[in-house]
């Protein structure tokens, strides 16, 4: 009975199961044959999703780039087909090996002004800036710290091929440009010259590498601060709140500048600094020659140790011990004993002082003076004070343009110097420090901190950035310094100060050989290596004295250059021997 019922169930139910499965299969295949429906369009008035907007933006940008690429290809094709009407007016010159001399006249960028308008001139300079867009090319040429705008427009004097050639010249390349001087419709604010040049021909004398260690514009930005004791300086910081799309300003650090010194020396401020520094040397020589001095040249290779000192660079001079001169001190005194009564020297000196500060160098230019006196060491002070007035007034008068350029990168207050120069005794200086609550031993030298404090006190009280401090304690002076007749603890010595830092050190010298030997021994220095120097006073000696200026330090302090390396063309500090 049960078996019969199961058979009946299979007979009735199985066909229904098969029919259901077959219907499901047909339904599946029918759905798969239908085309995929596109996503529903966003109804009008509804907002699109962020993803949709981004997708559409990317597609639009892609389409725009494709269009621009097609246009560029079309322009290139037109350029190839177009006839070049400027053949021979643009090219790279062959290496100049003195093949010929054409006697053409080159005009300096700084001399191009309104007097040359409508004249065709030839200039050689660097490409400071370059921008080519469409049918126009704009260049800025730079020679020293002078700049001028140059324009090339497609037409009679500039073909499309010529514009393309110009666009491929890297900045800092040296070029010869023949151009018509024109008066621009609008004033040019970005260049020193207020006229512009319209190109007639351009020839590349020397191409720069396309990638520079840093850009001249970045290295020319204003310096606002420095870290004392560390050889670094800070440039003006970009504003804290910047638009996200705004390009952040690049800071060129001092080490980077010094590692790539040739590029850094091209900046306008450096061009101006070293021209003024040259002028300081010229003014120094002018005054001294007019006052009966002659220029001498003394050895820089010295037997033994220079002046008996310890901070010397030692070397072997064949089979003898030698060193580099710390100063020409002993030799300029010996010259006076040889009857050259007023002498000076401008030359390098060497100090093996491991001082990593913002104001020390191991090699620098010393401007030395030595002269005979009749009665009193103030004869020296008065003449040296007049020399300083002559130099500083001369800088103001002769180098106004350079001063303005330097101040754009290194802002500084105008330098104040009275006539006559302020003179204070060391005791008076110590008294001013004590009154200000500053601790200073009256029988010890001033340290850097107290020098700066005293400089501020003097400026507040006397209104000057320059003064002379004299009668230093004996403890602070070398063996050849003459002691005071009224107090052997002090000497007839002096320092000159600019903006609270020392730039000159000098004194009346000891011209008595016995006193000289006594003071040499008191300092613990060997007498024998100084025998020639001492003996020069044994055959009749003139009373005399002198001093020495640090050339770099004068420029460094006059212009507030933050770090003395900015006043050294190729600095030599304890860690730098290259470039």
User: Of 178, 206, 234, which closes a domain?
Assistant: 206
Q: Do 187 and 292 belong to one domain?
A: no
Q: What is residue 251's predicted lDDT score, i.e. its pLDDT?
A: 86
DSSP 312-369: --EEEETTEEEEE-S-SHHHHHHHHHTT--EEEEEEEEE------STT--SEEEEEEE
Say yes or no to pLDDT of 235 above 90. no
Note whether residue 97 is domain-resident: no
Q: What is residue 248's predicted lDDT score, i.e. its pLDDT?
A: 61
Buried b (16+ CB within 10 A) or exposed e, 278-314: ebbbebbeebbeeeebeebebeeebebbbbbeebbee
Question: Residue 443: helix, strand or coil by DSSP?
Answer: coil
Q: Do 280 and 199 belong to one domain?
A: no
Q: What is residue 294's predicted lDDT score, i.e. its pLDDT?
A: 98
Is position 167 annotated as part of the catalytic site? no
142, 351, 358, 470: the catalytic one is: 351
Enter the tokens of residue 570.
């190729």
Give the Å distances, CA to CA, from 22 to 31, 39, 295. Answer: 15, 31, 119
The residues pairing with 317 across neighbouring beta strands, listed in sequence order, are 320
User: Of 187, 206, 225, which closes a domain?
Assistant: 206
Q: Do 288 and 378 belong to one domain?
A: yes
CATH of the domain at 317: 3.30.930.10
360, 398, 459, 572: the catalytic one is: 360
In this prediction, residues 135-146 reach a mean pLDDT of 96
For residue range 294-330, list pLDDT tens digits in order: 999 999 999 877 676 668 999 999 999 999 999 999 9
Note whether residue 559 is domain-resident: yes
For residue range 31-82, list pLDDT tens digits in order: 444 554 544 454 444 566 878 888 888 888 888 888 888 887 777 666 655 6
Query: d(Cα 366, Cα 350) in Å, to the nearest integer?
Result: 10
For residue range 508-567, list pLDDT tens digits in order: 999 999 999 999 999 999 999 899 999 999 999 999 999 999 999 999 999 999 999 999
Q: Do 373 and 502 belong to one domain?
A: yes
Q: Do 284 and 358 belong to one domain?
A: yes
Note whether residue 230 is domain-resident: no
| Number of other residues whose CB lies within 10 A of the CB of residue 259 | 14
Residue 459, Cβ density class (10 Å: 0-12 exposed, 13-18 middle, ≥19 buried): middle
Q: Do 192 and 323 belong to one domain?
A: no
Note whether residue 229 is domain-resident: no
- pLDDT confidence bin for 141, thresholds 50/70/90: very high
Q: What is residue 304's predicted lDDT score, i.e. its pLDDT?
A: 75
For residue range 164-206, list pLDDT tens digits in order: 999 999 999 999 999 999 999 999 999 999 999 999 999 999 9
For residue range 409-449, list pLDDT tens digits in order: 999 999 999 999 999 999 999 999 999 999 999 999 999 99
Is position 353 annotated as part of the catalytic site? yes
353, 363, 379, 501: the catalytic one is: 353
Q: What is residue 238's predicted lDDT score, i.e. its pLDDT?
A: 46
126, 221, 358, 359: the catalytic one is: 359
Q: What is residue 150's predicted lDDT score, i.e. its pLDDT?
A: 97
For residue range 497-513, list pLDDT tens digits in order: 999 999 999 999 999 99
Is position 351 annotated as part of the catalytic site? yes
Q: Do 373 and 450 belong to one domain?
A: yes
Q: Do 371 and 480 belong to one domain?
A: yes
User: Of 179, 206, 233, which closes a domain?
Assistant: 206
Which of left, alpha, beta for 144 (phi over 0: left; psi -120 to 50: alpha)? left
200, 266, 553, 576: the catalytic one is: 553
Note whether residue 84 is domain-resident: no
For residue range 441-498, list pLDDT tens digits in order: 999 999 999 999 999 999 999 999 999 999 999 999 999 999 999 999 999 999 999 9
Note whether residue 374 is domain-resident: yes
Q: What is residue 69's predicted lDDT score, i.e. its pLDDT?
A: 83
Is position 528 annotated as part of the catalytic site? no
Query: d(Cα 272, Cα 566) in Å, to the nearest integer?
Result: 11
Total count of domains within the chain:
2
Q: Do 195 and 293 belong to one domain?
A: no
Is position 19 annotated as part of the catalytic site? no
In this prediction, residues 566-579 reach a mean pLDDT of 96
Note whether residue 236 is domain-resident: no
Residue at token pair 């450096």 = 270
Q: Do 199 and 276 belong to one domain?
A: no
Q: What is residue 53's predicted lDDT score, i.e. its pLDDT?
A: 84
Say yes or no to pLDDT of 98 above 80. yes
Q: Do 197 and 274 belong to one domain?
A: no
143, 307, 502, 552: the catalytic one is: 502
Note whether residue 202 is domain-resident: yes
Q: What is residue 23's predicted lDDT score, i.e. its pLDDT?
A: 57
130, 208, 407, 505: the catalytic one is: 505
Q: Do 310 and 414 belong to one domain?
A: yes
CATH of the domain at 143: 2.40.50.140
Q: What is residue 226's predicted lDDT score, i.e. its pLDDT?
A: 47
- Give the residue numbers spanning the domain of 164: 103-206
């Amino acid at each position: 009975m049960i078996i019969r019922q199961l058979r009946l169930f299979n007979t009735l139910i199985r066909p229904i199961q098969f029919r259901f499965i077959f219907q499901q299969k047909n339904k599946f295949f029918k759905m798969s044959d239908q085309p995929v429906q596109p996503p529903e369009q966003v109804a009008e008035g509804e907002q699109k999703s962020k993803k949709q907007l981004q997708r559409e933006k990317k597609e639009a940008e892609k389409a725009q780039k494709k269009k621009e690429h097609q246009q560029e290809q079309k322009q290139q094709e037109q350029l190839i087909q177009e006839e070049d009407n400027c053949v021979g007016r643009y090219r790279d010159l062959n290496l100049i090996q003195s093949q010929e001399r054409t006697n053409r006249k080159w005009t300096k960028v700084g001399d191009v002004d309104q007097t040359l308008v409508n004249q065709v001139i030839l200039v050689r300079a660097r490409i400071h800036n370059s921008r080519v867009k469409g049918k126009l090319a704009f260049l800025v040429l730079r020679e020293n710290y002078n700049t001028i705008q140059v324009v090339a427009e497609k037409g009679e004097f500039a073909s499309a091929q010529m514009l393309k050639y110009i666009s491929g010249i890297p900045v800092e390349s040296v070029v010869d440009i023949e151009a018509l001087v024109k008066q621009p419709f609008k004033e040019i604010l970005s260049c020193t010259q207020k006229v512009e040049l319209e190109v007639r021909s351009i020839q590349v004398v020397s191409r720069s590498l396309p990638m520079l260690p840093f850009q001249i514009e970045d290295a020319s930005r204003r310096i606002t601060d420095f870290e004392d004791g560390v050889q670094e300086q800070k440039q003006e910081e970009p504003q804290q709140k910047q638009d996200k799309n705004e390009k952040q300003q690049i800071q060129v650090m001092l080490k980077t500048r010094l590692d790539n010194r040739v590029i850094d020396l091209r900046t306008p401020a450096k061009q101006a600094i070293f021209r003024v520094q040259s002028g300081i040397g010229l003014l120094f020589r002018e005054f001294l020659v007019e006052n009966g001095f002659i220029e001498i040249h003394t050895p820089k290779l010295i037997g033994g140790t220079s002046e008996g000192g310890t901070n010397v660079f030692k070397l072997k001079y064949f089979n003898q011990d030698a060193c580099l001169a710390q100063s020409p001190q002993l030799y300029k005194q010996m010259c006076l004993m040889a009857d050259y009564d007023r002498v000076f020297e401008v030359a390098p000196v060497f100090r093996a002082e491991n001082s990593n500060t913002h104001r020390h160098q191991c090699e620098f230019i010393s401007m030395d003076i030595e002269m005979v006196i009749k009665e009193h060491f103030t004869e020296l002070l008065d003449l040296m004070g007049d020399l300083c007035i002559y130099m500083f007034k001369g800088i103001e008068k002769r180098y106004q343009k350079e001063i303005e350029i330097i101040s754009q990168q290194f802002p500084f207050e105008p330098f104040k110097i009275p006539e006559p120069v302020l003179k204070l005794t060391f005791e008076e200086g110590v008294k001013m420090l004590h009154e200000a609550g500053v601790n200073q031993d009256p029988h010890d030298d001033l340290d850097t901190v107290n020098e700066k404090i005293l400089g501020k006190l003097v400026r507040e009280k006397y209104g000057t950035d320059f003064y002379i401090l004299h009668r230093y304690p004996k403890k602070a002076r070398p063996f050849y310094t003459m002691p005071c007749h009224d107090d052997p603890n002090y000497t007839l010595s002096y320092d000159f100060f600019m903006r609270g830092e020392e730039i000159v050190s000098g004194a009346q010298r000891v011209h008595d050989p016995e006193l000289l030997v006594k003071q040499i021994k008191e300092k613990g220095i060997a007498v024998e290596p100084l025998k020639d120097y001492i003996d020069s006073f044994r055959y009749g000696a003139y009373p005399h004295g002198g001093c020495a200026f640090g050339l770099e330090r004068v420029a460094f302090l006059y212009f507030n250059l933050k770090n003395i390396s900015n006043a050294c063309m190729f600095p030599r500090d304890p860690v730098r021997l290259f470039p």
